[in-house]
Structures are given as structure tokens and as C-alpha cells.
């Protein structure tokens, strides 16, 4: 290996280590402070962990915050958006992959352009529309506008995977009498289950971490709070605002479901995104 190549390798490693530290250090402090006694939070600032860990902060959160209600709301919200986006993205990606129709390239371009439009700029129009149909503070009101968030990304990702699937198998299924819908549900989708699973986890995590939208649409009823909104309300509450250990414990409980989902699917997610970048 030449000197130039070694420098490139070490530079890459340094950047990766630095990026990892930037992501990991706040999470380490969050976890460590959640096990600290209240008087230890600021007495040992540089040390994220304590020699006398306690579960009292978690007990306070579970006793003070209806965590199970917020968990159920977040699960219903995230699963609803995930299932809805998958049901929309799969047929669209299949059509863009195997069919020729009028304005196909234009429509695909519009799908990609939608990725450049931040969801935040649609908050006011969506809110007014939902208010007109009395969907504020309801689960459908939370889910329906979110179906378009990252939908373009899902369509493009699945299209790349579908296009790499052998066309001969699809033609054989159609010769055997399978309709387009049967070919999609019985052949193409099962063969790309890893890509569908990875996309579902990505959508689930992205939806679970939403804060402004659930606060705007469901913030009028405390029983409709998602976990992210409920934790923030606990933080702004005078009863919980000065309890940093309890706040960190609530944050850990909020992050735990998505972390577990990612850990179970991390290999499939990385493989899917890598293959989607080089195939098609």
C-alpha cells in the first residue's frame, strides 16, 4: 500500500470515528444520567455513569407519566403510516418497473421531486384541511397526511430492486395465467421481502421520531399524545422539569423501541440500501 493510500485509509477512519463519537456520546450521557441520583447529575458532569446506579428515575417516569398510553399511541401512529406507505409504494414501484404508459418518465420525475419538498411546509394546508373534516386530535388525522412523507423515496428504492428482478420469471408467471396483481403479490413482492422489511423499518423509525406533527394535530388531548410529545410535556411540566434523571429515563424509554427494531434489521437495511444504490 502506497503512502497516499495509507493516508486516505487513516483519514477515512478518523472521519468515521469522529462521526461515531458525535452520535454516540449524547446517547451514552442520556443512558448514564438516567441511572444517576439527582444530586449526582451536576456533581460529576464529565462522567456519564455513576458507581451507584438507581432505577428510581424510571420508577418516577412510569408512575408520573402514562407511558403505556403514549406507547400505544406512538405504535398505532407509526404502524399505520408504515403499512399505508408500503401499500402505496409497492404497486407504484411495480408499475414504474415493468409497465410502459403515458407520462411515465414525467410522473417518475415528479415522484423524485417530491423528495425535495419538506413536510414542514405542508403543515398549515394539512391542518386547515383536517380541521375542515374535523380530523384534528384523531388518529386518522395523524396518519393520512404522513402517508406522503418519504413515499417518493420508498417508490424509488423498491423500483431499483424490482428492476433487478429477472423479467423472465414475471413473463413465465403471466404465461401461466397470473394477472399483474397476482404476479406482484405472489412473485415480485415475496422475492424482495428484505427490501420491503428494510423500508418498513426506515418508515417506522422516521414516523416514531416525529414531534412537531403529532404535537400540532394531537396536542389538544393529553390522552392522544405520542411518546415524543408526552416526554416533551413532561419536561416542560414544573414537576418534571428539574428532574434531569427522570427526563433522561423518559427519553431512553422513548428511543428503545426504534433502537430494538433497527438492531434486529440492521444487516437487511444496510444490504438493501447498498444494493439499491448499485442496481437498476
Look at 242 and 212; give whichever has higher pLDDT: 212
Cα(147)–Cα(164) distance, integer angstroms: 26
pTM: 0.84
Give the model's pLDDT for residue 280. Answer: 43
Query: Cβ contacts of residue 237 below 8 Å, gap of 6+?
Result: none
| Domain residue spans of the chain | 73-225+259-278
**pLDDT, the chain, mean:** 86
Overall average pLDDT of the 219-248 stretch: 77
Q: Answer whether residue 191 shows pLDDT above 80.
A: yes
Sign, Cα dihedral of 23, 24, 30, 31: positive
Higher pLDDT, 79 or 50: 79
Q: What is the pLDDT of residue 237?
A: 64
Mean pLDDT of 68-88: 94
> By percentage, how much of the chain surpasses pLDDT 90?
39
Q: What is the pLDDT of residue 150?
A: 84
In 3-state terms the chain splits into helix, strand, coil percentages (rounded to 5) of 80, 0, 20
pLDDT class for 123, splitting at 50, 70, 90?
A: very high
pLDDT at 93 over 90: yes
Instruction: Report pLDDT for 275.
Output: 62
| Model confidence at 276: pLDDT above 60 | no
pLDDT bracket for residue 279 (50, 70, 90): very low
Give the closest residue to 253 by CA, choosing from 25, 80, 64: 64
Could you give the CA distance from residue 102 to residue 97 in angstroms, rounded to a whole number? 14
Task: Tell me the CATH class for 73-225+259-278.
Answer: mainly alpha
pLDDT at 133: 92
pLDDT at 273: 64
**pLDDT attached to residue 270:** 73
**43/248: higher pLDDT:** 248
What is the total residue count of the chain? Answer: 280
Res 90 pLDDT > 90: yes
pLDDT in tens, 8-19: 888 989 999 999
Distance of CA 199 to the CA centre of its chain: 9
Is 73's pLDDT higher than 90?
yes
pLDDT category of residue 75 using cuts at 50, 70 and 90 = very high
Average pLDDT over residues 78-83: 96
When comparing pLDDT for 277 and 230, which is higher?
Answer: 230
Q: What is the pLDDT of residues 102-119, one digit of tens each?
A: 899 999 999 989 888 888
Amino acid at each position: 500500500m502506497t503512502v497516499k493510500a495509507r493516508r486516505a485509509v487513516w483519514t477515512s477512519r478518523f472521519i468515521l470515528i469522529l462521526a461515531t463519537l458525535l452520535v454516540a456520546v449524547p446517547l451514552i450521557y442520556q443512558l448514564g444520567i438516567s441511572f444517576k441520583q439527582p444530586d449526582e447529575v451536576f456533581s460529576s458532569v464529565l462522567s456519564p455513569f455513576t458507581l451507584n446506579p438507581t432505577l428510581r428515575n424510571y420508577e418516577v417516569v412510569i408512575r408520573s407519566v402514562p407511558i403505556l398510553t403514549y406507547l400505544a399511541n406512538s405504535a398505532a401512529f407509526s404502524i399505520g403510516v408504515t403499512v399505508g406507505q408500503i401499500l402505496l409504494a409497492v404497486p407504484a414501484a411495480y408499475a414504474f418497473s415493468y409497465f410502459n404508459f403515458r407520462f411515465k418518465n414525467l410522473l417518475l420525475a415528479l415522484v423524485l421531486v417530491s423528495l425535495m419538498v419538506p413536510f414542514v411546509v405542508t403543515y398549515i394546508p394539512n391542518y386547515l384541511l383536517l380541521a375542515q373534516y374535523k380530523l384534528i386530535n384523531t388518529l386518522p388525522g395523524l396518519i393520512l397526511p404522513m402517508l406522503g412523507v418519504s413515499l417518493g423515496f420508498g417508490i424509488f428504492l423498491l423500483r431499483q430492486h424490482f428492476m433487478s428482478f429477472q423479467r423472465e420469471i414475471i413473463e413465465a408467471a403471466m404465461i401461466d395465467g397470473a394477472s399483474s396483481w397476482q404476479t406482484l403479490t405472489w412473485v415480485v413482492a415475496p422475492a424482495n421481502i428484505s427490501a420491503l422489511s428494510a423500508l418498513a423499518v426506515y418508515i417506522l423509525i422516521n414516523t416514531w421520531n416525529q414531534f412537531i406533527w403529532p404535537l400540532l394535530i394531537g396536542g389538544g388531548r393529553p390522552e392522544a399524545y405520542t411518546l415524543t410529545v408526552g416526554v416533551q410535556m413532561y419536561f416542560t411540566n414544573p414537576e418534571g422539569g428539574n428532574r434531569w434523571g427522570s427526563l433522561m429515563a423518559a427519553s431512553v424509554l422513548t428511543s428503545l423501541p426504534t433502537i430494538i427494531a433497527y438492531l434486529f434489521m440492521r444487516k437487511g437495511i444496510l444490504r438493501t440500501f447498498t444494493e439499491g444504490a448499485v442496481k437498476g
